[in-house]
Amino acid sequence: MTGSSAARPIRLGTRGSALAVAQSSQVAEALRAASGRPVELVEVVTTGDRSAAPVQRLGVGVFVSALRDALLGREIDVAVHSYKDLPTEPATGLVIAAVPERADPRDVLVAAGGVGLAKLPVGARIGTGAPRRMAQLNALGAGLTCVPIRGNVDTRLRKVESGELDAVVVAAAGLQRLGRLTEVTEFLDPDVVLPAPAQGALAVECRVTDAELTATVRALDHPATRAAVLAERALLATLEAGCSAPVGGYATVMNGVLSLRGVVVTLDGSTSIRRLGTGTPADAESVGRRLAAELLDAGADSLLESAR
């Protein structure tokens, strides 16, 4: 590394929400340690940040494209994304240099009065912006009313505090990174609500041409997390389902075996198809593609079509 590049701060691009800044700050701290260089956060406003419309209406990549444009335009050197927000197609000229160790991938319930999911009364209003969560909550047959919401973590939790909603379902990882896990009423078992593919994982992206910086960023990579996320996203890509589709996918790596669970659910929860696939971490993407093929053979395509 040259003396001039060693002295220059690494510009790390991030969205401006409290959660995005918190997770990007964690990456920045690790990158400082790995590189020995200062790292400065550069806030980038995305389409998703400027609009209150549902994500499924805005389209895939609404929280990503502005960061990628800034990276390609050399306004920043590194971009940090919530991995589940990334389109499944690779971006020309960019490489995901690191996938740090994943935070808790589960969904969590935050409910008024501290009650768990099973104790919510019939008709209880649960806020969530994700069709995947709505579909799986509807599949419980508990008579819960799912209310579409958007906004940052504070906005969502305030809807419970104010009595507007009885509960919200959010990602555990977000509350973990914000230091707010004490507000969780219940961690939802993946057998009940399967997480979104790549939930809880971050993607640290660099320009392909920045070989030296990319090699430095790779020190942040967590191989088991990368393998799990590759399997989950291969499942999503093969199903040709975007990040807002009612699809859950969750992989774990234990003792050299990668296990991947996948589910496709109709929005009303009346029909669901679940399958399990296994393989090696080195074969992660193939595991995802095979599991998607099994789901499609079982009729997942018609369920996804009804959701569209």
Residues that are catalytic: 85
- Which stretches of 121-256 are assigned E, i.e. beta strand? 125-127, 145-147, 167-171, 186-187, 202-207, 247-254
Burial of 246 (0-12, 13-18, 19+ CB in 10 A): buried
Pairing of strands 125-127, 167-171: parallel
Pairing of strands 78-82, 186-187: unpaired
Instruction: Output the furthest CA–CA distance in the chain (Å, rounded).
Output: 65
Q: Are 22 and 52 in contact (CB under 8 A)?
A: no
* The Cα angle at residue 103 between residues 101 and 109, in degrees rounded to 5: 165
For residues 154 and 50, give the distance between their C-alpha atoms in angstroms, rounded to a whole number.
Answer: 17
For residues 245 and 308, give the distance between their C-alpha atoms in angstroms, rounded to a whole number.
Answer: 8
Collapse the DSSP code of 39 into the 3-class scheme (helix H, G, I; strand E, B; otherwise coil) and give the result.
strand
Q: Is the dihedral of CA 119, 125, 126, 131 positive or negative?
A: positive
Cβ atoms within 10 Å, residue 268: 13
